[in-house]
Each structure stands twice: as structure tokens, then as C-alpha cells.
A and B are shown apart, each in its own frame.
Chain A
């Protein structure tokens, strides 16, 4: 065996190098109509996990390195949600290597491993569940076929009858022959072409070693020791720093800019005016910022907006309505008296991710390379190409780890701006937002207004329920959701996320989504409309339970459809209530609140336990039960639940953006009141249920019930029903 092994010299095996060109040619061709429709519906209320990109050629996705590691080029980006670790687990199991051998890197768009849409919608692991395992299994089968060929050749061509085994990336035939994946890749390389094996059947879940285990995050070390992995950390030889002059006021367009004072300032290389913006390029970041401060720009605005103007627009009855759900005749049943009615609102929300947006662009020599945090490498590539007048494949987007995503990086005009500056000065330029710019030029979670109506029957059951929701746009105007698709759908799938009534045993129920165009950009914010819609529906459910004189949990269970349709919903409701020891009364200065929601097919239920201290809610414990299906990495699913609870508390209790004298405010942490360590619950208990046997959405669904559970607990404790977010 050892003699055989020596036949293979050690060298770098670049699988991609051989198969390289094919990926780039895929371009946009695969954005076919059916796939679009699939993705369209996938993003609607019932998500069908899918991956929109080529997933047929493992040589595009994997590289075997000289030191027998396997590098996976991920089309999905890592923004903290733990996707890279789950992908490594999936690949390791089908490749039959230790998960420690898998290295996951972001696929540059030039590799051809390009996601047709985005990293978002909680679909990364779920969407790659089938294709990635198939790719890994195909690669394994290809390598094993090569090993078999080698085995047939030994003993002077007589071959061997020793049984074949695979252990941690080494294919062995008894003691006669042992070939590592690296050695096999070298043999295949030497042939000049890779003949891919048929995709073998996938393993049974029960046979997996890593899938389903709490494997530590593979990026843990990089993140604990400060490796330069983020877009903000990118640098290049000869790099300059850029800064863009941005308006403070909503809807402002540039009239003119006096740059004379900035031109002679230290380090200033060039002032760039291009289309609708003015930018500075200087030797250091602070020189660029100083020069920007010295530029006097004149802006034109139609009017100066105020919060009150925005609130007057976001009203049910304003804008364009679309029925998104209808069963029975809710309107008929709600005519006459005895209708319970309540209104709810939620404010403008900021993403407030810690890493500001920006990019390092090198737009020389007829192409462009842009290194940055983006959730949409393909969209970013196409937009940069269009602005620079290049073919898409002349632009390479190099995604980095994201210092937070939450939907903020689904719009990337910052890539264009850096590229324009780079082209103007003929050098790499790094250009980042200030925090104030980040707050004022966010693509916000839209404010909402909800009207809930219901009628209780004499048996204490809900006869009819209607949810009217008014919201600014989420999917409309978004580069990842073409206008045509919105027209096909007729309603904003992001805004109405979570807005349908999940208690489908109510005989008459209806949900209507009212679309309002706001004067500033609103868009995807983690869980989209789910947090606000659930706040309205689930607060209202508690109000109805009280009117019906029933326990809130039992009342909900009574309206969940019978199994099998309502089975998973029922289980999370029961599990959360049981885990918390839910009680419908205040005790010892504390009270519990319950809420549940279903997002993208993942039901979640939460119980919060809080007290009031100095008039402020103090959250002590949170119990969350969720059925995301198979948890590829249960520890990271829990982490997503814990994070959602904290983000949900922050958004529901404290955060709001206002519009004052035409500007979005505040523009800094602190005044933008985000939860700190002291506001986080001391205890978050997460109970995971696998009701499907396959991975489903994880990152957003647990946010759903948080706001309503808080409001319900506050009511139970204080008797005060708060119907507007933020609650505190």
C-alpha cells in the first residue's frame, strides 16, 4: 500500500482550474420562467425551499487542496446565521470526510457558483439541502470510481477482491491499496478531464455523522481572534479611500456642489462628480471624510416630511388593497353589531447592523473586481456591470463575511459608487458609509397599520376574523424582486409575510394587504412583515380569548386546524406553554405572555416572562418552541432563536425611526434605542421539534411571536393593552 501511495506526487489540485470556464458562461440563462415562479411562490406564505443556480457540476463547487482539505465554494453568504457550518456538515457527510476537513469560502461570481437570487428568506440551508448533498455525493462517487479503476489495475491487472472502504477521505481496498481524495483528484487531473459519476442515492439521515449534531461554528476562530474577514477589512495594493456626499433629507436630489474648498485639502486625490453624486477620493479615510465635510452641496427636495405625514399615509383604507387570503365570507359575518375591533401600528425600523455598507472596488483594465459584504452577489455584479458599461462576466464580485445582514445588503448601490470612484482615479478605492449615512440611507422596515376585526360565536369560538394591513413596500422596488413579478402577484409578498390568519378553522377569515408607496426606501428587514403582522394578530387573539373568557393557549389551540394540517402548529404551541409552565395570571410582580406564528412553513411559539421596573418592561425568561424540521446544526438553530428573541425584544420594546424636518432620525446607536446586554433575557429556553424530517426556514421564523408575546405579558401584568410598537 505504501508503495502504491508513493506513485502519486504531492501537488496542488485545482479542480476548478480544469473545469473553470463553464461556470461563467451560465450567466443569467438559468433564470427561467418556471424557476422564477418557483422562487416567487417559495417566498410566499408557504415556502418551498429551492436553490436558484447551477448545481450540477461538483467541480465548480469543490476544490481539493494540497493538504487534503476540501474547499466548498458557497453561493450563499455567511452573515452570522451559521450557514457555512451547516453546509460543511452536509458536504462532510456525503463526502465521507471529517467535517474539520471542509473549508467553506464565499464563491466569487467569476467561479460560476452564483445564486440566482439572494442569501435571505431563511432558505440557505433548506434550499441547498438536496443540491449540495447531491453535489457532494457525486464528487465522492467520481473519486471512488477513479479509485476502483486503480484497484482494478493492481496485481498486474488482476485487481483485488478486498472490500472497498472509505474513511475520512481515503479510499482503501484492504491493505492492498489506499488512495486519498487528493491523490485521486491528481489522477483525474492527469487525464485532462473529469468524467462525472452518476449521482448516487443519498444516505439516510440516520446514517449521517455530522448532520443533526451541534458542530461548533467553522468561523469561530476567525471571529474570536479578529481575522480580517469582513468587507470593511478588505484592502489592496495602492488602495485609496473614497467618500460620497449624501443628502440628509428624504428625496433630495443634487443641484450643485461647491468642491473648491475640498480640492486642495491634504491627501485629496480627486473630486469625482458622476451622474447624481459627488465623491471624494483621498489617501486616507479621514482625509476623504474631512474633504467631504468641506464640500457644500445644494439639494432640492419636494417637501420636508414629518413622522405624522408618514403615519397619515400608512392607514388601512389608503393605498391599493389586495385580498391575500379568503375563506368563507368574513365581510358578511362581520356586518352588524358585536364586532370586536382593534388597531395596531408599528414604526419605521432600521437594520442597524454593525458593519456599515461599503465596498472595495478595482475598476481598472476594462473590468471590475468588487470586494464587499453583499447578500446578492449576482445583482451586485449586474448593477456594477450596467453602470460601468461592462458585460456581467467582466465584473467579479468577491463576497466577504458580512458584519450583519438582516436584509440590509440586498441593495448594494455602494458597490457602484466605489467602482465609479475607482474607475475615475484608476486605482482601487475603498468607500464606506459613515454611521449617520447608514442610518439615513437605510432601506427601512416599513411602518405598518393594522385593523383587526372578529366576531365571537355564542360557543366562544371565533366565527369570523379579518386582518387589514397597511404597509410600505418590501418586495416592490427591490432588485431581487422584479417589478413584473410584483405585478403578477399583485400584492407585496414581503409586507404581507405573516399577515395571513393561521387559525384556519375559523370558518370565515380574510386578510387584505394595502400597499402604500412611501417617499423613502423601505425593504427587507429580517422576517419582513412577520413581526408586525404577528404583533397585530396575536395581540388580538389574546383580546378575543379574554372576551371569550378562555385561556389564551387553549383558545388558540381551539382554532388551529385539526391534524394533519395544524399538527405542527399545535405541537409548538403546546411545547412552548408546557416548557414555560404558562399561566394566565400575574404572580409576584411578573407575568407571562404567549404568541405564535408560522413563517415559511416553520411554526414558532414563544412565552415571555417579564416584570415592570421603573415603568419599563424587564424581560426575564423566554421560552421558545419551533419546528423548523430537521436541524442540521441544532446549536446554531438555537443561536438563531436566541438572536431572534433579542432582536425581537429590541425592535418591539425600544426601536423606532422618526422623520423630522425631512430627515430620518436618529442617526446613531443610543438615540436609536437598541437592546443592550442588560435588556436581554437572562434565560432563553429553546425547544426544537422536527416535524418534517428535512430542514426548513430557521433564521426569521422565531422573530414572529416576540412582539405580541411581550404585549400580551405587559397587558397581563399592568392591565394596559399597548397596541403600538415600540411598546416601551
Chain B
């Protein structure tokens, strides 16, 4: 089927099998290898991307639901020249070991901070449930707090206690279309 959506800020149209998971559309059809295959069952989080600002596990997201959606992958998050605060924090804290799960954690964290720039440890525990086998969790927690600092410094947000998280998400993705959910 023919699908038009926004990928990392650019309009894309492609012809693909609607049952094909977004993961493989990204990796094999669009050659964006930053989104990883870990389990194919939405259990590990290595394939996490953003769809309309929400963290989504792309291995369980059929391509047919892409129509009109706004997708961000790790490649669209930041660059070495202009890293996203989460990437900046990941570098400062030297988080990765093997590195394979890290894109998913970075994307999940970015989605969290877009809605809650002052996450508590409990917030982190609830929201970030990806799997890392190397055990980089200790540094990840530090990096998430550091990224939150950087996020707050970059855009002094209204008091999180009075700001609805959902508004923060919308602010981060002003072009998000009315999602069919």
C-alpha cells in the first residue's frame, strides 16, 4: 500500500506491505539502522521510535498505521554537532557498553523528558522498561537525570506541577496531526 508520513522532519511517501512492521520499513527500506531489532515482540524496547511524540516500539507497529503520522528515529533526534540533551547526557556519562540497546533507551528517555522534564527515580523506573544486558543501568539513571537538567536549562519550562505532561508533548511536536487513536 501507498503510505505518506513524516519521517525525521521530512515528508515521505512509500509503497510497502501494510503488515510490515515499521521497524523493518525503517531499517531495510529506508536504511535507517539506528533503530534496532532485539526481540520483534515489543519486549525489549531496542526498536523504540517516536510516533506523534509518543515512544512506540516499532516492531509491533504495522506500516499501515503510518499514514499521516509523524515519526522520529534516533537519526532524527540529534547529531554529533547538535546532540539532543539525552544524547549529550549519554556522552557525558559514558553510558554505552555494547551499545545495541542504547538507541531504544535514548528514544524512550527523550519521550519521557518531553512530557516530564523533572522525572523522579520512580518516574524513571515506571517509564523506562527497556532491557540492557550489559547492565549500564547505573549510568543510565545518572544520564537521565543529567538529560533532564540539560532539558530544563535549554527551555525553562513552566512548573511541571502545573503543566500537563500532554501539553509538553504537543509543544515538542507542533506538527503532530490528529492521531487516530
Q: Which residues of A contact B (CB under 8 A)?
A: 79-82, 216-217, 219-230, 232-233, 235, 284-286, 351-356, 401-406, 432, 434-435, 635, 639, 642-647, 650, 668-670, 674-684
Contact = CB atoms under 8 A, between A and B. Distances in A.
B20 interface: yes
Contacts of A432: 37
A226 B39 contact: no
Between B32, B36, B43, B99, the greatest number of chain A beta carbons within 10 A of the residue's beta carbon is seen for B99
Interface string B118-154: 0001001110111111111111110000000000000
Nearest to A85: B94
A218 to B, nearest CB: 11
Given A220-B94, A284-B24, A643 B135 contact: yes
A642 B130 CA distance: 18
Given A224-B106, A232-B37, A405 B128 contact: no
10 contacts: A80-B134, A217-B94, A226-B74, A286-B21, A353-B133, A356-B38, A403-B99, A639-B97, A643-B134, A645-B138
A682 B132 CA distance: 16
Contacts of B44: 354, 435, 669
B91 A669 contact: no
Interface stretch (B79-87, B159-167, B169-177): B79-87
Given A223-B99, A435-B38, A677-B125, A635 B94 contact: yes
B137 to A, nearest CB: 3
A644 B135 contact: yes
10 smallest CB-CB distances across A and B, nearest first, come from A226-B34, A646-B135, A403-B100, A80-B98, A223-B99, A80-B97, A680-B137, A678-B125, A228-B33, A643-B135
Interface in B1-55: 17, 19-21, 24, 28, 31-41, 43-44, 46
B99 to A, nearest CB: 3
A203 B35 CA distance: 44
A406 B134 CA distance: 9
Contacts of A230: 36, 99-100
Contacts of B78: 225
A374 to B, nearest CB: 14
Contacts of B97: 80-82, 639, 643
A219 B96 contact: yes
Taking each of A217, A356, A680, which has the highest tally of chain B beta carbons within 10 Å of its own beta carbon?
A: A680
B94 A684 contact: no
A674 B39 CA distance: 14
Contacts of A352: 131, 133
A682 B121 contact: yes
A354 B38 contact: yes
Given A647-B134, A676-B131, A639 B90 contact: no
B167 to A, nearest CB: 26
A681 B140 CA distance: 12
A223 B83 CA distance: 13
Contacts of A668: 39, 41, 43
B102 A669 contact: no
Interface string B88-113: 00110011111111110010000000
A468 B87 CA distance: 49
A643 to B, nearest CB: 4
Query: In this complex, which of B96, B98, B130 has the most chain A Cβ atoms within 10 angstroms of its Cβ?
Result: B98
A639 B98 contact: no
Contact of A354 (B34, B100, B106): B100
> Which residue of A402, A669, A675, A681 has the most chain B CB atoms within 10 A of its CB atom?
A669
Contact of A677 (B33, B35, B74, B129): B129
B144 to A, nearest CB: 9
Contacts of B130: 676-677
B94 A404 contact: no
B87 A224 contact: yes
Taking each of B19, B24, B100, B139, which has the highest tally of chain A beta carbons within 10 Å of its own beta carbon? B100
The winner among A226, A404, A644, A678 for most chain B CB atoms within 10 A is A226
Contacts of A217: 94, 96
A219 B35 CA distance: 17
Given A225-B87, A353-B133, A354-B46, A677 B128 contact: yes
A82 B87 CA distance: 19
Contacts of B31: 235
B67 interface: no
A217 B135 CA distance: 16
A607 to B, nearest CB: 16
Contacts of B99: 80, 219, 222-223, 229-230, 401, 403
Contact of A647 (B34, B36, B87, B133): B133
Contact of B96 (A224, A402, A676): A224
Nearest to A222: B99
B101 A354 contact: yes
A354 B80 contact: no
A626 to B, nearest CB: 15
Given A226-B74, A646-B135, A404 B100 contact: yes
A223 B90 CA distance: 10
Contacts of A216: 91, 94
Contact of A223 (B40, B102, B121, B131): B102
A75 B129 CA distance: 35
Given A285-B24, A355-B100, A643-B97, A684 B138 contact: yes
Contacts of A220: 91, 94, 96
B24 A225 contact: no
A646 B124 CA distance: 17
A435 B39 contact: yes
Given A226-B75, A647-B135, A676-B131, A670 B141 contact: no
A434 B136 contact: no
A220 to B, nearest CB: 6
A194 B2 CA distance: 59
A653 to B, nearest CB: 13
A675 B101 CA distance: 14
A680 B98 contact: no
Contacts of A642: 135-136, 138-139
Contact of A669 (B28, B79, B131, B134): B131
A683 B138 CA distance: 7
Contacts of B21: 286
Nearest to A228: B33
A352 B21 CA distance: 22
Contacts of B121: 682
